[in-house]
Amino acid sequence: MDPTTDNAGYAGDPGRARASLEALRAEIAKAVVGQDPAVTGLVVALLCRGHVLLEGVPGVAKTLLVRALASALELDTKRVQFTPDLMPSDVTGSLVYDARTAEFSFQPGPVFTNLLLADEINRTPPKTQSSLLEAMEERQVTVDGTPRPLPEPFLVAATQNPVEYEGTYPLPEAQLDRFLLKLTIPLPSRQDEIDVLTRHAEGFNPRDLRAAGVRPVAGPADLEAARAAVAKTTVSPEITAYVVDICRATRESPSLTLGVSPRGATALLATARAWAWLTGRDYVIPDDVKALALPTLRHRVQLRPEAEMEGVTADSVINAILAHVPVPR
């Protein structure tokens, strides 16, 4: 199948688009073992035109996951290793003087791509972190007063290490709120780790995804058809109220100093709609909201220091809220 086929019958077929996106799991599994929730989260983010923060210890295939997704969707991808000396222009691009023409010309930075892997984003100072804010929110980069649109689709997949904080710059709340989802990448199970080592023993090269058999199974036309279908997914007033009640409960939790903003509530509704469509329904049910509550909300709340000292986590607070907020019938 050629995912780039551009005809009205194919590009407008949401059923075929859903089947293509579902095939991503099997295709990415050729390179990445046992990370189905993360793959699903990345697809949901693409459907919602959102961005993803991937958190996991080094060596759990965060970078490989993003590269495999880009390869299976036939999207352009670039990687930026964030370091303390990285400048904003190293991400967005800059004006370069051409001595031959005596004029300045714009040289695009790596942000001009479909899938930007911002590796270890918390290792660069806030000035460089903030260079991504306009790109993430407005999908454009302004240099010397001239706005330059980014390609479509555009997704930032940023990674950070949860256990090594020396020499890092924690992301401010305003930037965390720009990420649609925060996905935690766990260590593999024993059997998954055996499978990983077996593949490497058989000659698997993570730098050569073509040799691993990863092929494009979907493309931009599928994403457009899928997004159009997600936009038509029905949300009842009861589900809308349920989302609002969950988010308002975080603002009243004694364990939190910062609850979920209205932007977070909008994000939860959007991700629940995308998940409902991916699972084959054209309407949202409470279970869709529950399924996406943790990855959509965990980075939008802030724990009180005393609660953190007692071992309370953002996930445990959100789970407790989900257990107590009345579910619509």
* Tens-digit pLDDT profile for residues 15-57: 788 888 888 888 888 888 888 889 899 999 999 999 999 998 8
Amino acid 10: pLDDT: 46
Whether 168 has a pLDDT exceeding 70, the answer reads: yes
Residue type, 212: A
Residue entry with tokens 């209205």: 262
Residue entry with tokens 């909300």: 297
As a residue count, the chain comes to: 329
Whether 264 has a pLDDT exceeding 90, the answer reads: yes
Mean predicted confidence (pLDDT) in 103-113: 89
Amino acid 23: pLDDT: 87
Average pLDDT, the chain: 88
Q: CB within 8 A of 88, min separation 6: which ones?
A: 127, 128, 130, 131
Higher pLDDT, 44 or 129: 44
Q: Which range is most confident: 22-31, 191-200, 238-247, 300-309?
A: 238-247
Amino acid 164: pLDDT: 63
Whether 243 has a pLDDT exceeding 60, the answer reads: yes
What are the phi and psi torsion angles at 266 (to 5°)?
A: -60, -40
* Sign for the pseudo-dihedral over CA of 310, 315, 321, 322: negative
Cα gap 206→273, rounded to integer Å: 34
pTM of the model: 0.88
Residue 317 has which token pair? 């607070």
Give the model's confidence band at 206: pLDDT under 50 very low, under 70 low, under 90 confident, else very high: confident
Amino acid 25: pLDDT: 81
Amino acid 3: pLDDT: 41
Higher pLDDT, 36 or 315: 315
Residue entry with tokens 């959509």: 296
Q: How many CB atoms lie within 10 A of CB 312?
A: 17
What are the phi and psi torsion angles at 123 (to 5°)?
A: -95, 0
Residue 281 has which token pair? 């329904």
Mean predicted confidence (pLDDT) in 61-87: 90
Amino acid 329: pLDDT: 82
Percent of the residues in the chain that have a pLDDT greater than 70, as a whole number: 95
Residue entry with tokens 């256990």: 163
Q: CB within 8 A of 24, min separation 6: which ones?
A: 39, 43, 69, 72, 73, 217, 218
Q: Which residues of 116-127 are buried (b: 16+ CB within 10 A; e: fewer)?
A: bbbbbbbbbeee
Whether 67 has a pLDDT exceeding 70, the answer reads: yes
Give the model's confidence band at 150: pLDDT under 50 very low, under 70 low, under 90 confident, else very high: very high
Cα gap 87→70, rounded to integer Å: 26
Give the model's confidence band at 166: pLDDT under 50 very low, under 70 low, under 90 confident, else very high: low
Whether 131 has a pLDDT exceeding 90, the answer reads: no
Contact 82, 119 (CB under 8 A): yes
Amino acid 260: pLDDT: 94
Q: Is residue 310 classed as helix, strand or coil in its secondary structure?
A: coil
Amino acid 6: pLDDT: 42
Cα gap 49→34, rounded to integer Å: 25
Mean predicted confidence (pLDDT) in 314-329: 95
Amino acid 99: pLDDT: 79
Cα gap 265→177, rounded to integer Å: 11
Residue entry with tokens 């986590």: 313
Residue 10 has which token pair? 């194919």
Residue 138 has which token pair? 């407005």
Amino acid 1: pLDDT: 38
Amino acid 130: pLDDT: 83
Amino acid 33: pLDDT: 86
Specify whether the backbone of 77 is left (phi greater than 0), alpha (psi in -120 to 50) or beta.
Answer: beta
